[in-house]
Amino acid sequence: MSETADVVIIGGGIIGSSIAYHLAEAGCSNVIVVERGAAQGLGSTGQATGGVRAQFSTSINIQMSLYSIEFFSRFEEATGRKSGYQPNGYLFLATNEGHLDYLKRTRETQRAAGLETVEIVSREDIAAMIPQLHIDDILGGSYCPTDGLIEPLSVMRGFMERASSRGVRLWLSTEVNAIEVEGGEVKGVSTTRGHISTRAVVNASGAWAAEVARLAGVEIPVVPLRRQLVAARLPIDLPARLPMVIDMTDGFHFRRAPLDWTEPGVLLAWPDPMETFGFKMDFDEAFIGKVLTRAAHRMPLLAQAIVDPKRCRTGLYEMTPDHHAIIGLAPNVRGLYLANGFSGHGVMHSPATGRIISDLILHGETRLLDIKPLGADRFIEGRLLEETSIL
C-alpha cells in the first residue's frame, strides 16, 4: 500500500494530536498521524499528573504556558470537549532563604514575560489558604491563581477528534520504521502499514524522539527519565480548590484526586534525585514509603492516606540537557520538524507547540513567539537555556 500526505506526524500523544488539530484548523487536513500503540495515550500523556503552570523561570517557558493556559480555558469552544481546566493555582513553598529569593527573582522574570498574577505569599497567607499544611519550617512562597489542573487524555482526544472530523487520518497500531531523505530533503516514511510519500514529517514521539530522529540521520539529545506517581485515598476530602502544592525543600508535590475519582484522594509525586535515565517502566514499591514520609511531614493528614496500588503509575519524562523543549526544523534535513524534549511539561505546552509547528509547516515561520531559543542547533552552538523550575 502507498499513500500520499501533505504532513505525516509520528506519534499520536497530546503533542501529535495538537499539531494535527492546528494544521486541520488552518485548512491542512491531508495529514496522517502514525501511532504505534493500539490506542492513543499509551505513552507519557496517559501517565501525566495534569498540572499546568506559568510559574517558570525562563521567558520562553512562561510564554508557552500563557498561550496554552488561555487555550485550555476555551478548549471546549475550540474542540467540543472539556479540557477539565481548574484554575486552582500552584503554590510553591520555600523553606530556606535561597528558595524564597529565587521565587522573588523568578516573579520579576514572570512579570516581564506578561504573567501579572503571581504573588509572593507569607507563612500566614499559606496557613490561611491551606490550614491542613504543616507550616513551622515554611518561610513563604509564591502563588499563581491561573495555574492549575487539566485532564490530559480529554485534551488529547479533543484535539484528535476535531482534527479527524476535518479529515486528518489516525493510523493506530502502526510503527514508522524509516524516514526517507534524499538530497537533504524528506521524501516519505515507511511504516508497518505501508509507505507514505510526503515532504513534511513531524517527530512527535515523546520519550522515543531520539530514536525517531535517528531514522532521518539526525541526532537530538532527548533521554527518557522514569517518573512515578503514588495514588492514595483519604478518609476525608481536601478543599475542592486545593492548589498543586510544591515543597521546594526536595520537590515533593501533590494534587487533589482527578475529577473522575468518586472518593477523596491525592496524587503524590517526588523527583527522586537517584533516578537514572533509561526506558524503565516498572513501578518501584520502595518509592511509596519515600513519598509517604514526605507527604506526612508537609500535611499530617496525609499520614492517613491509603495507597491505591491500581492507580499508582510510572511514565517517562523526555529530558533535554537544558530542560527545554526542542521545537522547529531539524538541522540539515528540510521537511523534518521536531516537537520533542518537553522535559515533563509537554501536556501544558501542547497548545502552543501545535500552533507553532503548524505555522512553521504552512508559513515557514511563526509569529506566536520567538522560538529561536528552542532550536535544536542550540546544542551544537552552545546556546543552552536553563530552566531551574523543574518538578
Ligand X SMILES: Cc1cc2nc3c(=O)[nH]c(=O)nc-3n(C[C@H](O)[C@H](O)[C@H](O)COP(=O)(O)OP(=O)(O)OC[C@H]3O[C@@H](n4cnc5c(N)ncnc54)[C@H](O)[C@@H]3O)c2cc1C
Q: Compare residues 29 and 40 and give the one whose CB is closer to ligand X.
A: 40
Task: Report in angstroms how near the CB of residue 208 gets to ligand X at its nearest.
Answer: 4
Name which position in 43, 84, 89, 373 contacts ligand X (CB under 6 A): 43
Q: Compare residues 12 and 89 and give the one whose CB is closer to ligand X.
A: 12
Strand partners, 181: 186
Pairing mode, if any, of strands 326-329 and 306-307? unpaired
Question: Please, are residues 26 and 20 in contact by the beta-carbon 8 Å criterion?
Answer: no
What 8-state DSSP symbol labels residue 195?
E
Name which position in 7, 19, 22, 49 contacts ligand X (CB under 6 A): 49
Residue 124, Cβ density class (10 Å: 0-12 exposed, 13-18 middle, ≥19 buried): exposed
Distance CA 198, CA 32 (A): 10
Site for ligand X in 316-355 (CB under 6 A): 316-318, 342, 344-348
Joined grid coordinates for residue 193: 502499514
Site for ligand X in 201-220 (CB under 6 A): 204-208, 212
Q: Say which amino acid occupies 170.
A: L
Task: Report in angstroms how near the CB of residue 137 gets to ligand X at its nearest.
Answer: 25
Distance CA 34, CA 292 (A): 40
Phi, psi of 76, rounded to the nearest 5 degrees? -65, -40
Q: Measured over all CA atoms, what is the biggest interatomic distance in the chain, rounded to whole angstroms? A: 67
Q: Which stretch binds ligand X (CB under 6 A): 37-45, 100-108, 233-241, 257-265?
A: 37-45
Task: Report in angstroms how near the CB of residue 175 gets to ligand X at its nearest.
Answer: 4
Question: Please, are residues 329 and 339 in contact by the beta-carbon 8 Å criterion?
Answer: no
Joined grid coordinates for residue 113: 514575560
Site for ligand X in 266-295 (CB under 6 A): none
Q: Which stretch binds ligand X (CB under 6 A): 11-19, 135-143, 279-287, 377-385?
A: 11-19
Distance CA 238, CA 301 (A): 10
Pairing mode, if any, of strands 313-319 and 223-233? antiparallel
Q: Compare residues 100 and 142 and give the one whose CB is closer to ligand X.
A: 142
Q: Which stretch binds ligand X (CB under 6 A): 46-54, 58-66, 123-131, 285-293?
A: 46-54
Task: Report in angstroms how near the CB of residue 54 gets to ligand X at its nearest.
Answer: 12
Q: Which stretch binds ligand X (CB under 6 A): 9-17, 124-132, 288-296, 298-306?
A: 9-17
> Alpha helices, DSSP H only, in 334-377?
350-363
Pairing mode, if any, of strands 244-247 and 185-191? unpaired
Name which position in 89, 224, 315, 373 contacts ligand X (CB under 6 A): 315
**Binding mask 175-194 vs ligand X (x if CB under 6 A, - otherwise)?**
xx------------------
> With contacts defined by CB under 6 A, how many residues of the chain interact with ligand X?
40
Residue numbers of the site for ligand X (CB under 6 A)?
Answer: 10-16, 34-37, 42-45, 47-51, 175-176, 204-208, 212, 227, 229, 315-318, 342, 344-348
